[in-house]
Amino acid sequence: MMNAISSHSDQYPPLAPGLYLVATPIGNLEDITLRALRILRSADRIACEDTRQTQKLLNHFGIATPTVSYHLYNEGLRAQELMTQLEEGSRIAVVSDAGTPGIADPGHELVRAAIAAGIPVFPVPGANAAVNALIASGLSTESFTFHGFLPAKEGQRRTALEQVPRGQETHLFYEAPHRILDTLSDLEAVFGATQPVVIARELTKLHEEFLRGTVSEVHKQLAERPSVRGEMVLLFSPSPQETAVPTRSIAVEVDALMQSESLSEKDALKRIARERGIGKSEAYRELQREQSRRR
């Protein structure tokens, strides 16, 4: 345990008034930065997603700054209180349970309010699950999209995946362990069993693990475990559209997909439209034309 340093220590110049967004570790306490510790020590107040969770971190580093809860359910109300203090010249640090505040975590509302009121906002960089999953994934880091959490409901999740564009870009999602198998099944239905994926699990922790392979291989690997646990990031980069002229008619492809993958006609059409790079209504009209020619 380190010694607490008072907020008015001679060791450091006083903090400028404003809002400090302080990243905290996502598993490994060594990932706190020296600057984060100084700001957490010197701030007038720390707004935390869960005060009990943050208190463990503060105790570990011997920091005695008062905390206040600031989470999804009181974000609006608490933002007003914190804004009053910021307008009076306070130094408020915002932390989430883990990682970077505002990234799939509270923080954004306060940032917007502070900017609107002309209060300085200072990012204090540190751990973030998405960026660290990306850099070690082996997938392209040149262009990427972070989507946050996928919808929990199956239909909405499938639709969200269907909207992921094909191309060179890497797509990143946060996913809960109890949903990952269903999500991989959806991914397989939308992009095919050979779509490569990466799952970054328990980053920076003792059991850190990267699962890399086709979506069906990774699904099999996880499904064989007695239980699927841990925090995870899902990454993939759907391969670009094949430009080759399709050799099979849409009607034949729809029938094949309905039989082999038990898709509804609508889902089969959506998949084919995506694979051919045409709109759903265009695919539907073509299907109707083919069906009328068959009659």
Cβ–Cβ < 8 Å for 121, 18: yes
Minimum distance from residue 196 beta carbon to ligand SAM (Å): 19
Distance CA 35, CA 22 (A): 9
Q: Does 202 interact with ligand SAM (rule: CB under 6 A)?
A: yes
Closest CA to 204 of 99, 274, 83, 280: 99
Stretch that binds ligand SAM, among 29-37, 64-72, 79-87, 100-108 (CB under 6 A): 100-108
Of the residues 26, 57, 257, 287, which one makes contact with ligand SAM according to CB under 6 A: 26
Q: Does 232 interact with ligand SAM (rule: CB under 6 A)?
A: yes
Q: Which is nearer to ligand SAM, 201 or 270 (CB)?
A: 201
Of the residues 70, 144, 146, 174, which one makes contact with ligand SAM according to CB under 6 A: 174
Which DSSP string corresponds to 17-86?
A: SEEEEE-B-SS-GGGS-HHHHHHHHHSSEEEESSHHHHHHHHHHTT----EEE--TTTHHHHHHHHHHHH
Cβ–Cβ < 8 Å for 54, 67: yes
Q: Does 203 interact with ligand SAM (rule: CB under 6 A)?
A: yes
Identity at 117, one-letter amino acid code: A
Distance CA 29, CA 163 (A): 37
Stretch that binds ligand SAM, among 8-16, 158-166, 194-202, 262-270 (CB under 6 A): 194-202
Minimum distance from residue 93 beta carbon to ligand SAM (Å): 15
Q: Considering CB under 6 A, how many residues would be counted as binding ligand SAM?
A: 24
**Where do contacts with ligand SAM occur on this chain (CB under 6 A)?**
26-27, 96, 98-100, 103-105, 128-130, 174-176, 200-205, 231-233
